[in-house]
Amino acid sequence: MSGIFSTFNTAKRGMFAQQQAINTTGHNIANANTEGFSRQRVQLVTTPGYSLPNVGMVGTGVDIADVTRIRDAYLDVQIRLEKGIAGQYQARLEILEQVEMVFMEPSDTGLNTTMGLMWDAWQELAKSPENSNARTIVKENSKIFTENLNHLYQQLDSLKNDSISLTEKKAMEIHSILDQIKSLNDQIFKITIKNEKPNDLMDQRDLLMDKLSAIIDFTSVEDKYGRVTIKSGGKTLLQTEKGNEMPFQLSVVRSVKTLEDGNIQVTLVRGGDSINGITTLTMTKAEYDSYAVDADSGSFLQEGAVIFNDVSWDGINHADGNLAIFDVKHGELRGYQDISAEVAKYQDQLNGLARAIAYAVNTIHTGDGNPDDPNPVSFFVGEGNSGDISKINAGNIKVNEEILKDVRLINTRKSEDSPEGNGERALAIAQLRNARLPIQDFIENPNTTVTYKEDEMKFENVSGGNTFEGYFKDIIAELGISAQQAVRMVENQEALTGQLLQRRYSISGVSIDEEVANLIQFQHAYQANANVISTLTAMLDTIINRMGV
C-alpha cells in the first residue's frame, strides 16, 4: 500500500509542477507584447529518491527548483553601451541639423553672399565716389550684412539655450529614473529575502536601466539581495551599501556672466528643475578658475556643464557644496553638452569674423591707421555705437548710426587733399575681400593688431592668415563635417543596436508559436499525471472493494 501512496505523491507533484509550468507559459503569452518583458521558464528537478530492499533506488517525482528569467547579462551591457553612443550622436544631430538650417549655406541670402555684395558695393563706390546712390548701396549692403550676422548669432544663441534646456531636462529625467530604480530595489529586496524571485520587477528595472543608458553611460553591480548600485562619471548615483540611497544631485550651468566688479555670476538649475531649482552663485575670478578641470574639458562651470553636488548642499555657499564635474562619456547628456559647446564655438568664430572686418574696414576708413579715431567716423560700431573693437561681436556689429543718417560721411578719398572724385580709400576697403588676416586671433584677443601701411592703405598679408570668405567657408566646412559624422554615427549605431536588440529578442523575447507548443507539452504531461492518479485510484478500488480486504 505504501508503494501506491508514494506513487500518488509522485503523480501529485507532477501535476503541480506541470500546472506551474502552464501558469508560467500563460504569463509569457500574456506579456508577449509587454515592453521589457523577459520570457520565464520553470526549472524542474527530480526529487530525492529512496531505496527499497531487493529493488534499489525508487524515484519520487519532480519539484520546481526555480522560475528563471531568460536573460543574457553580457548582451545587456553591450546594448546599453551602444544605446549610449547612439543617444550621444542623436542629440548632437538634433541640434546640428538646426545649425545647418540657420547658416543656410550656400544660398542667395546666406552670410557669404551678403558679405560679397558688401565688398561689391565698395568696389562700385570706388569707381564713382561722388555718386550718392553708390554710397547708399554701400550703406544698405553693409547694413544687410551686419543684420544677417546679428540674426545668425542670435539664432545660434537660441540653439545653444535650447541645448542647455535639453540638458536640464535630461538631468531631471536621470533623477526620475533613479528614483524609480531605487523604489524597485526596495521591492526586490523585500521579495528576495523571502527566497522568492521578483522576475517581473527585475524586468521593470532592466527596462529603466536601458532608458538610462541612452542618457548616460554607467556601470551597475547587483548585490546578493538583487539590488543594484549604479555608478557614472566616476560618481555613485545609487548605492546599496548604506541602505539604498541617492547621495547626490545633478545641477546644470545655465549661464555664466562677468559682473562689472570682475566677479563671476553662475546660474545653476539644480536637479534639472527649471522652476524651483534656480540657484545663483557669485565668486571671484580666482575662485571660478579654481574649478577648472583638465585641459580637454576646460572650466566645468561653462554654460551647459553638468555639476555633481552633495544633496546636503544649501545652494548658496559654493565652497562647502562638494561640487564636482559630472563627466560622462556617452549618452544624450554628453551629446547636448558637446553640442552646446560646439554652438558656442561657432558663435566665437563669428565674433572673430565681425571684429576682424570691423578692425580692417575701420582702420582704412578712419584714414590714419587708428580705427578708434572719431574723425572721420568708424564705419562699423558695436555696443554704444562705439568703434572700440573689444566691444564689437557678431551679435551687435552694425553700421555707424551717423553714416546711416548721412552717407556723405563715408570716407572714400585717400587724403583730404585728394579731389572729390578720388575713390582710392573705397577701393582699398573693397580689396579687403582678398586680404589674408589673422581672423582667428580676434576670437581670444579683440585688440589684435595687424601691420598696416597708411600710405598704401593696405595690410600686410599674415602667414597662416585667411580671407574673410575663406574663413567663413572653413566654418561651414567644419559644420558640414561635424553633421556628416553625426549622421554616419547615428546610422551605424541604429544598425548595430538593432542587431543587438534582435539578438536579445531571440533569447529573451516571447515566441507565441514556441509558447503554444510548450503549453501543449505541459498540458499532455499534466493529463498524463492525472491519468496516473486515476489508475492508482482504480487499483485502490480493486484492492479495497473487490478483494474482500
Same domain? For 92 and 123 the reply is yes
Same domain? For 194 and 262 the reply is no
pLDDT at residue number 284: 79
Same domain? For 373 and 447 the reply is yes
**Residue 345 within any structural domain of the chain:** yes
pLDDT at residue number 7: 84
**Residue 273 within any structural domain of the chain:** yes
Flag whether pLDDT at 1 surpasses 50.
no
pLDDT at residue number 297: 45
pLDDT at residue number 245: 67
Q: What are the φ/ψ torsions at residue 224 (nearest 5 degrees)?
A: -70, -15
Same domain? For 419 and 286 the reply is no
Same domain? For 51 and 130 the reply is no
How much is the average pLDDT of 288-300?
Answer: 54
**Domain end marker among 327, 360, 376:** 327
Strand residue runs (E) in 147-227? 219-222
Q: CA distances (Å), 507 to each of 3, 293, 380, 503, 504, in order?
A: 43, 44, 67, 6, 5
DSSP code at position 245: B
Same domain? For 500 and 393 the reply is yes
**Residue 418 within any structural domain of the chain:** yes
Give the pLDDT confidence of 21-51 residue by residue, as tens digits: 999 999 999 999 999 999 999 999 999 887 7
Flag whether pLDDT at 371 surpasses 80.
no
Number of structural domains in the chain: 3
pLDDT at residue number 152: 97
How much is the average pLDDT of 340-368?
Answer: 94
**Residue 102 within any structural domain of the chain:** yes
**Residue 275 within any structural domain of the chain:** yes
pLDDT band at residue 294 using 50, 70 and 90 as cut-offs: very low
**Domain end marker among 327, 355, 383:** 327
pLDDT at residue number 278: 80
Give the whole-angstrom CA distance, residue 43 versus residue 499: 29
Same domain? For 504 and 518 the reply is no
Flag whether pLDDT at 259 surpasses 60.
yes
The answer to whether the CB of 387 falls within 8 A of the CB of 371 is yes
- Kindly report the average pLDDT of the chain as a whole number: 89
**Domain end marker among 327, 349, 367:** 327
How much is the average pLDDT of 478-495?
Answer: 96
Q: How many residues does the chain have?
A: 549
Same domain? For 8 and 79 the reply is no
Flag whether pLDDT at 17 surpasses 50.
yes
**Residue 408 within any structural domain of the chain:** yes
Same domain? For 179 and 261 the reply is no
Q: Which residues, 6+ apart, have CB-to-CB distance to 513 below 8 Å?
A: none
pLDDT at residue number 413: 86
The answer to whether the CB of 115 falls within 8 A of the CB of 358 is no
Same domain? For 375 and 284 the reply is no
Of 300 and 408, the one with more pLDDT: 408
The answer to whether the CB of 377 falls within 8 A of the CB of 400 is yes
pLDDT band at residue 295 using 50, 70 and 90 as cut-offs: very low
Whole domain around residue 254: which residue ranges?
248-327
**Residue 238 within any structural domain of the chain:** no
The answer to whether the CB of 404 falls within 8 A of the CB of 395 is no
Q: Which residues, 6+ apart, have CB-to-CB distance to 57 below 8 Å?
A: 49, 50, 51
Same domain? For 342 and 491 the reply is yes
Share of the chain above pLDDT 70, in %: 91
CA atoms within 13 A on the CB side of 250: 27
**Residue 241 within any structural domain of the chain:** no
Same domain? For 316 and 341 the reply is no
DSSP code at position 413: S
